Amino acid sequence: MNEFNSTKLRARFDNTQEGWMVQVYGGDRRLLWVLDPSHAWTFFGGLGIGLLLAVGWFNLVQNSPSTAHPLPPSIPAEMWVD
CA–CA dist 67, 80 (Å, integer): 18
CB 40 within 8 A of CB 29: no
The answer to whether residue 48 sits within a structural domain is yes
The answer to whether residue 49 sits within a structural domain is yes
The answer to whether residue 57 sits within a structural domain is yes
Query: What residues make up the domain containing 54?
Result: 37-62
The answer to whether residue 46 sits within a structural domain is yes
How high is the pLDDT of residue 47? 97
CA–CA dist 19, 17 (Å, integer): 6
Each residue's pLDDT tens digit, 19-64 = 788 899 999 999 998 888 888 889 999 999 999 999 999 988 887 7
pTM: 0.46
